[in-house]
Structure 1
Amino acid sequence: MTGGPGPVLRFGVSEISPDADWPERAREAERLGYDTFATTDHLGLTAPFPSLVAAAAATTRIGVATYLTNTALWDPEVLAREVAGTDRLTGGRLSVGLHAGQTGSAATAGLTAQDRRDRLAETVDVLDRLLTDPAHRPRPLRSPRPALMIGAHEPDELELAARRADTVCFVGAELPPQGGFVLAGPEEFAERVATVRARASEFGRSPELNTGVKKIVVTDDRRAAADALRQALAPHLTAAQLLDLPTLLIGTHQEIAEQIRGAHDRYGLTSYMILAAHLYDFAPVIPLLRKG
Structure 2
Amino acid sequence: MDLRVFTEPQQGASYDDHVAMAQRAEQLGYDAFFRSDHYLRMGGGDPRPGPTDSWTTLAGLARETSTIRLGTLVSSATFRFPGVLAVQVAQVDAMSGGRVELGLGTGWFEAEHKALGIPFPDKRFGLLEEQLEILTGLWSTPEGESYSFSGEHYQLTDNPALPRPVQSPLPIIIGGNGPRRTPRVAARYAAEYNQSFPAKDAIGPQIGRVRAAAEAAGRAGEDLVYSVALVACVGRDEAEIARRAEAIGREVGELRENGLAGTPAEVVDGIGALAELGITRVYLQCLDMTDLEMLDLIAAEVMPKV
Give the TM-score taking structure 1 as reference length.
Answer: 0.77
The separation in 2 between residues aligned to 1:125 and 1:24, in whole angstroms, is 35
Residue 71 in 1 paired to residue 64 in 2? Answer: no
Q: 1:101-116 counterparts in 2 under 5 A? A: 101-102=107-108, 103-104=110-111, 105-106=113-114, 107-112=117-122, 115-116=123-124
SS in 1 for 2:30: coil
Partner of 2:46: none
Q: Which amino acid aligns with 1:271?
A: V
Output the aligned Cα RMSD. 2.8
Partner of 1:251: 262
Q: 1:110 to 1:70 in 2, by over 3 A?
A: closer
Residue 138 in 1 paired to residue 163 in 2? Answer: yes
Q: 1:264 to 1:279 in 2, by over 3 A?
A: farther
Residue 126 in 1 paired to residue 134 in 2? Answer: yes
- Asked whether the 8 Å contact 1:12–1:274 carries over to 2, the reply is yes
How many residues are matched? Answer: 259
Q: 1:267 to 1:283 in 2, by over 3 A?
A: farther
- Shifted more, 121-130 versus 184-193: the winner is 184-193
**Structure 1 residue ranges (4+ consecutive) displaced by more than 6 angstroms after TM superposition:** none
Q: 1:146-185 counterparts in 2 under 5 A? A: 146-155=170-179, 156-172=181-197, 184-185=198-199
The separation in 2 between residues aligned to 1:262 and 1:282, in whole angstroms, is 21
Q: Deviations over 1:13-57 (max 9, x none)?
A: 335144230333321121222121222212242111221121121
Give the TM-score taking structure 2 as reference length.
Answer: 0.74
Q: 1:271-282 counterparts in 2 under 5 A? A: 271-275=282-286, 277=288, 279-282=292-295
Q: 1:186-225 counterparts in 2 under 5 A? A: 186-202=200-216, 203-206=219-222, 207-218=224-235, 220=237
Q: 1:185 to 1:26 in 2, by over 3 A?
A: closer
The separation in 2 between residues aligned to 1:141 and 1:109, in whole angstroms, is 32
The separation in 1 between residues aligned to 2:133 and 2:31, in whole angstroms, is 27
The separation in 1 between residues aligned to 2:281 and 2:60, in whole angstroms, is 27
SS in 1 for 2:121: coil
Q: 1:42-57 counterparts in 2 under 5 A? A: 42-44=38-40, 45-57=51-63
SS in 2 for 1:81: helix
Structure 2: any 5+ residue segments left out of the alignment? 41-50, 145-160
Q: Deviations over 1:89-112 (max 9, x none)?
A: 111111111111112223444511
SS in 2 for 1:188: helix
Q: 1:279 to 1:201 in 2, by over 3 A?
A: farther
Partner of 1:176: none
Percentage of identical aligned residues: 24
1:233, CA displacement in angstroms? 6.2
- Shifted more, 193-202 versus 70-79: the winner is 193-202
Partner of 1:263: 274
Q: Which amino acid aligns with 1:146?
A: L
Residue 11 in 1 paired to residue 4 in 2? Answer: yes
Q: 1:286 to 1:18 in 2, by over 3 A?
A: closer
The separation in 2 between residues aligned to 1:119 and 1:23, in whole angstroms, is 32
Q: 1:285 to 1:197 in 2, by over 3 A?
A: farther
Q: Which amino acid aligns with 1:120?
A: L
1:76, CA displacement in angstroms? 1.0
SS in 2 for 1:120: helix
1:69, CA displacement in angstroms? 0.7
- Asked whether the 8 Å contact 2:173–2:192 carries over to 1, the reply is yes
- Asked whether the 8 Å contact 2:37–2:74 carries over to 1, the reply is yes
SS in 2 for 1:213: strand
Q: Which amino acid aligns with 1:139?
A: R
Q: 1:146 to 1:195 in 2, by over 3 A?
A: same
- Asked whether the 8 Å contact 1:117–1:157 carries over to 2, the reply is no
SS in 1 for 2:74: strand
The separation in 1 between residues aligned to 2:54 and 2:281, in whole angstroms, is 24
